[in-house]
Structure 1
Amino acid sequence: MSLHVVFEPGKCQGYANCLIEAPEVWDFDEDANSAVLLQADPPDVLRGKAEAAARCCPAKAITLEERAG
């Protein structure tokens, strides 16, 4: 199973917690005051960081899905 990150930019409130937790997966657009998803399908080595980013998003703009393959 592989991890897939789902980001809902309309929910993002610009806290940037995701970027702090997983800078390999996220960036931040300061002009839009919103996170930018860099890797929707991060490698297994980044699974823990991607999970932490989803957990610490106060706006609940990040969800994770398990995908076969």
Structure 2
Amino acid sequence: MRVSVDPDRCCSSGQCVMAVPEVFDQSEDDGVVLLIQARPPAELQSAVRTAAGICPGRAISVQE
């Protein structure tokens, strides 16, 4: 799995950070998503898919 984010689409809701704080964070300046791990380990992949699905801005992309 490879994860990418589009900061221009991020609406700073923080849903991704709450779902998988090991993979996502937010900028302290504006709350925009920051990607910590582009290739998360297998045990986090299901949670990353969930985070992508609940992102209101559709800013998270997952490639299997």
Q: TM-score, normalised by structure 1?
A: 0.87
- What residue is the counterpart of 1:5 in the other structure? 3
- Amino acid across the alignment from 1:39: Q
User: Once the two structures are aligned, what percentage of the paired residues are identical?
Assistant: 36
Aligned residues: 64
- Amino acid across the alignment from 1:11: R
- Rg bigger for which structure? 1
- Specify which of 22, 46, 55 is matched with residue 57 of structure 1: 55
Greater share of strand: 1
Q: TM-score, normalised by structure 2?
A: 0.93
Q: Which runs of 5+ in 1 are unaligned?
A: none
Ranges of 4+ aligned residues in structure 1 off by more than 6 Å: none
Q: Which runs of 5+ in 2 are unaligned?
A: none
- What residue is the counterpart of 1:15 in the other structure? 13
User: What is the CA RMSD across the aligned residues, in angstroms?
Assistant: 0.8
